[in-house]
Amino acid sequence: MTDSEALKDFLGIPRKLIPWFPTIDNELCSDCGLCVKACKHGTYEYRENADDVIVANPYLCEVYCESCRFQCPVGAISFPDRKTIKLLFKELRQQYPPAA
């Protein structure tokens, strides 16, 4: 994780504590690169010296964004369960209450 990723927050909660980012099923992925083009946050990159796509910057992914998943023609991209993330937010809110 880069320094800029570690400093980013989401609704006052440090982004590094929120496990919202894509996972690529390499068995399904055709490395078409549509996810790289669809993501405006720089989450994906092509692996150096190779043609395969990786989630290079997971914490740059915008929380609850799934635009890339809908662009994938083979359904190789998945995200965590939203209900699980919402429960985590409830727990984190106790540690990081909203600013008054």
Domain range annotation of the chain: 3-93
Between CA 20 and CA 61 the distance in angstroms is 7
Question: Which CATH code is given to the segment(s) 3-93?
Answer: 3.30.70.20
What element of type H or E holds 35?
A: helix 34-38
The model's pLDDT over 5-42, given as tens digits with 9 standing for 90+, comes to 556 889 999 999 999 999 999 999 999 999 999 999 99
Between CA 55 and CA 51 the distance in angstroms is 13
- Least confident interval from 5-9, 25-29, 48-52, 91-95: 5-9
The model's pLDDT over 75-89, given as tens digits with 9 standing for 90+, comes to 999 999 999 999 999
| pTM: predicted TM-score of the whole model, two decimal places | 0.85
